[in-house]
A and B are shown apart, each in its own frame.
Chain A
Amino acid sequence: MISELLINAFLVTVMLAIAIALLKTRTVIFTVILTSAYSLVAALMFITLDAVDVAFTEASVGAGISTILFLAAMAYLPKKEEENFSNQFLPALSCIILGAILIWCSYDLPEIGLISSPIHQHIVPDYILGSRNDIGIPNIVTSVLASYRGYDTFGETIVVFTAGVAVLVLLQNNKKNPKNTKSKINKIDKKVG
């Protein structure tokens, strides 16, 4: 129990530190790297909650591929963010109020893992039993994702597909220009290296 508390405190501290560093930095590559680190710590956080599949997704998608895509897209951004000295009182106030409301509401949430909380009473027992008896797959997450919620996953796949096609249409190379794709990848190499 005490070790769990220590691990959680450590992870939250690291996340907070990364978030503050993110606010401070103005260099775009540091922002990308720190976002990746934040995702990695979030993945560890999911592991402490025993959500291994979510942690796996967070580590591979959040910390892995999105960092690479950000780096690839970074070639078209200025290297430094511009300083913004305009009045930020109202945005800060609205953020603080929203945060306070969220923290206040979190006191009404049931305790994590409490068996009598509504989320564990409604349909979850059916899924847990059905995954063993009807589907015969040990990983309940997979049986929910692919079978019980197959429509949703189909929708997700189509969303990923549509997003990819949309980016391809937007960024399609102009056929009139001769191809000189090498210069861009050189640019990315320089920034990574």
Chain B
Amino acid sequence: MHKNPILRVCTKILFAPIILFGLYVQFHGDFGPGGGFQAGVIVASAFILYSIVFGLDKGKELFPSNVNLFLLTLGGIIYGGVGITSMFLGEEFLSYNVLGSSPQSGQHIGILLVEFGVGLTVSNVMIALFNAFAGFKSGKGN
């Protein structure tokens, strides 16, 4: 399968558009269907496609495991950080109204950041799960 030129070329062509579509779903979630969960899965699928076609080692070269784990936690930290920031600004946890100059712009900023955190966590969890499954060596042979 690695040697199939059609797959390799198609993967290389598709890789960037898939990520672009993921970013579109991520940041257009306020106006159309979509949001962090879907976008995270779409972005992750691009990296997983790369790993399937070119092999796990090449996939880890493209997206190293330590970066993956770092971003995995960063997503949750961004989400919680937005909540705690609004607490420091004198509101309740995850009240976005105080984040911007007006309540509406505060809500916009809060939702954008929160969805970004969700997308980051989901995409990196999916990539980490695939890497764990594909790279797992069971003790009983197989």
Q: Which residues of A contact B (CB under 8 A)?
A: 52-53, 55-57, 60-61, 64-65, 68-69, 72-73, 75-76, 134-139, 141-143, 145-147, 150-151, 153-154, 156-158, 160-161, 163-165, 167-168, 171-174, 177, 179-182, 184-185, 188-190, 192-193
Contacts and interface: CB of A to CB of B under 8 A. Distances in A.
A60 B134 contact: no
Most chain B CB within a 10 A radius of its CB, from A164, A184, A192? A164
Contact of B73 (A56, A75, A135, A161): A161
Interface of chain B, main secondary structure: helix
B35 A53 contact: yes
B136 A173 contact: yes
B107 interface: yes
A173 B135 contact: yes
B104 A57 contact: no
Interface of chain A, main secondary structure: helix
Contacts of A52: 33
Contacts, number: 171
Contact of B137 (A56, A147, A173): A173
Interface of B: 1-2, 25, 29-35, 37-38, 41-42, 44-45, 48, 51-52, 55-57, 69, 72-73, 75-76, 79-80, 83, 93-94, 96, 103-104, 107-108, 110-111, 114-115, 117-118, 121-122, 124-126, 128-130, 132-138, 142
Given A65-B41, A192-B52, A154 B79 contact: yes
A171 B111 CA distance: 34
11 contacts: A60-B45, A72-B133, A72-B134, A76-B142, A138-B31, A150-B83, A154-B80, A157-B118, A168-B69, A188-B134, A189-B2
Given A167-B132, A182-B56, A185-B52, A65 B44 contact: yes
Nearest to B124: A164
B132 A146 contact: no
Contact of A177 (B69, B111, B137): B137
A181 B103 contact: no
Contacts of A65: 41, 44-45, 48, 126
A168 B128 contact: yes
A158 B121 CA distance: 9
A162 B107 CA distance: 27
